Structure 1
Amino acid sequence: MTSSVTASTPAAISISGGGLSFGERTLWSDLNLDIQQGEYFAVLGPNGSGKSTFLKVILGQLGLSTGTIQVLGGPARAGNPGVGYIPQQRALGTNTPLRARDLVGLGLDGHRWGIRWNRRHHRAKVDELLEAVGASDYAKVPVGLLSGGEQQRLRIAQSLANDPRILLADEALLSLDLHHQYGVSELIHRYHQDHEATVIFVTHEINPIIDHVDRVLYLANGRFTVGTVDEVMRSEVLSELYQTPVSVIKTNGRYVVVGGDENAPAPLDGGDLTHSHCHEENI
């Protein structure tokens, strides 16, 4: 793993006393966290723990219940051009009236009304983005005819349209086969390295990105822990977090997490679990 983080680098995201609640339910509280510029940061946790909600707070789509957040030195706000966002992978319908390059182009001016004046510049930038993610060969293909992995490459290209300093990935590997998981992971890692960007990667499966991650935020049951992968992915740490026995097995540099009660015999590679069983995250 390599990182461009240095002690003198200003924090890309700073949360002080952060708490988030919905009615009587608290997702987390008293979160004090600095994510440095250039850091590769993973967010793990079971369904409903607030991983995707954490990204919504950074995006300015949802406010904290308590505490403050700073993003690139200012308050979190919707539409911040310094923040790119890769949404969860969902298949597009076969009748979607967009070509691959049209979908990528929405990242450049999809938020604007009116006629596109500088078409030459727009075409050139779209071509550049398509090439960057290895999608040039199917630039004119209707998006609904592409595989899930190909569609996800387009979403990455779209998220990079403004050369963001922070790149948020919300379950970017969901529903992809192993080959496309590692391909998409490598694209994000390459942008992280080439642009010294901060990456915040929400995932249920840390193994495809484990070689890139600097630190982990693990959310569960209103609790959290932050540290390096080796500090967090330990039996005693996750058992305390879940308040139930959890076994973490490391083999060949990869993690398997197993619930500890009699109803939880099935292992899950580097993923997360509920109190009673292991399962794959799908939000």
Structure 2
Amino acid sequence: MTGEARAALEVTALDVSLSGRAILRDVSLSLHPGEFVALLGANGAGKTTLMRTILGLVPATRGRVQVMGSPVQRARKAIGYVPQRHEFAWDFPMSVEQVVLTGLTAHIGWLRRPGAHHHRLAGEALARVGLHDLANRPIAQLSGGQRQRVLVARALVTDPALLLLDEPFTGLDMPSQEALTGVFTALAAEGCALLMTTHDLIAAVHECSRLCLIDGTVLADGIPETLGDPALWQQAFGLSNHNPLLQALVGAVHHRKQVTAC
């Protein structure tokens, strides 16, 4: 990635406070097309708040957010967002295709019916996540993994330059996780920039091109091979020296370093 390439996302010196309490302090982060970045931190570290600020849903008290070189207020159509699965009303009487079409509301308009072009886009997004055959199925009948893929398809239907993923693997079995990871890595290879929060730290080390550790502010940001210092992970997650997760993380970083060197 050259320094001249325009960033898909540029967060600069961002401060965010909620109810008078500082949540984010001096956060700076950039993503370029083709990067798959994991945003990692303990519960309460500010990951979801940062996501919502990038979306323009939470105001910043200082700093700025730009998407594809424009303020986020003018670039929302360039952003795809996959919320946590529990945030969606899965008992609502809609089909899989109808849910995906809601991702085009800003393009279609609230009072207009989707046309053939919009249905084609929805079909392509569903095919991308392997659900084209389930387009007419009621969403209440879907498994957890299928529901997550529907949310991904809804985010992809606009062909976003930046895709935000908030805990996309929570509660999924391993085949579903692997299927989604394949979709995400393929999108990055095609030039989409992806920012993902996840609690699956080992998978993030193996699959993501960059890791950003935060705890109210950015503690570390770099390719996984450079984040082998146990102190970084201890600071971000409060792990003890003998925590098995810490040992597994350091081992995963070492393994990736070996693979990359081959």
Shorter-normalised TM range: 0.7 to 0.9
Which position in structure 2 is the counterpart of 1:237? 232
Larger helix proportion of the pair: 2
Q: CA RMSD in A?
A: 2.6
Q: Contact between 1:93 and 1:144, CA under 8 Å: does it hold in 2?
A: no
SS at the partner of 2:180? helix
Q: Which of 28, 31, 35 is matched with 1:39 structurally?
A: 35
Q: In the alignment, what sits opposite 2:139?
A: 143
Post-superposition Cα deviations, 1:203-250, rounded to whole Å, max 9, x if no partner, equal: 111333433312211122656222222333531222344576445224
| Residue aligned with 2:73, SS | coil
Does structure 2 conserve the Cα–Cα contact (< 8 Å) formed by 1:218 and 1:226? yes
Q: Indicate the residue corresponding to 2:168 in structure 1.
A: 172
One-letter code aligned to 2:81: Y
Aligned partner of 2:111 among 105, 110, 114: 114
Deviation at 1:15, TM superposition (A): 2.3
Query: What CA distance in whole angstroms lies between the structure 2 residues aligned with 1:176 and 1:241?
Result: 25
Q: Structure 1 residues 223, 242: closer, same or farther in 2, change over 3 A?
A: farther
SS state at 2:16 partner: strand
Q: CA deviation at 1:160?
A: 0.8
Return the match for 1:16 from 12, 31, 35. Answer: 12
Aligned-partner SS, 1:137: helix
- Aligned mates of 1:24, 1:244 — CA distance in 2: 29
Give the gaps of 5 or more residues in structure 1: 256-283
* 1:90 equivalent in alignment to 2:86: yes
Distance 2:26 2:33 in 1: 22
Could you list the per-position Cα deviations for residues 41-66 of structure 1 after superposition, in whole angstroms to 9, with x for gaps in the alignment?
11011111110111111111112222
Distance change >3 Å, CA 253–CA 9, structure 1 → 2: farther
Amino acid in structure 2 at the alignment position of 1:210: V
Partner Cα separation in structure 1 for residue 13 and residue 78 of structure 2? 24
Moved more, 167-176 or 82-91: 82-91
Query: Compared with structure 1, are the counterparts of its residues 30 and 123 closer, same or farther at alpha carbon in structure 2 (3 Å cutoff)?
Result: closer
2:211 paired with 1:205: no
Say whether the 8 Å CA contact 2:67–2:75 is kept in structure 1: no
Residue 125 of structure 2 corresponds to which residue in structure 1?
A: 129
Q: How many residues align?
A: 249
**Which of 217, 221, 226 is residue 221 of structure 2 equivalent to?**
226
Q: What letter corresponds to residue 235 of structure 1 in structure 2?
A: P
| CA distance, structure 2, for counterparts of residue 159 and residue 10 of structure 1 | 22
SS of 1:11's partner is coil
Q: Give the Cα separation in 2 of the matches to 1:202 and 1:69.
A: 18
Greater strand share, 1 or 2?
1
The TM-score, its normalising length taken from structure 2, stands at 0.84
Counterpart position of 2:247: 249
Residue deviations 1:60-89 (CA, integer Å, cap 9, x gap): 111222222222111122771111001112
Corresponding residue to 2:212 among 210, 217, 221: 217
Structure 1 residues 165, 89: CA separation in 2 closer, same or farther (over 3 Å shift)? same
Deviation at 1:92, TM superposition (A): 6.1
Gaps of 5+ in 2: 254-262
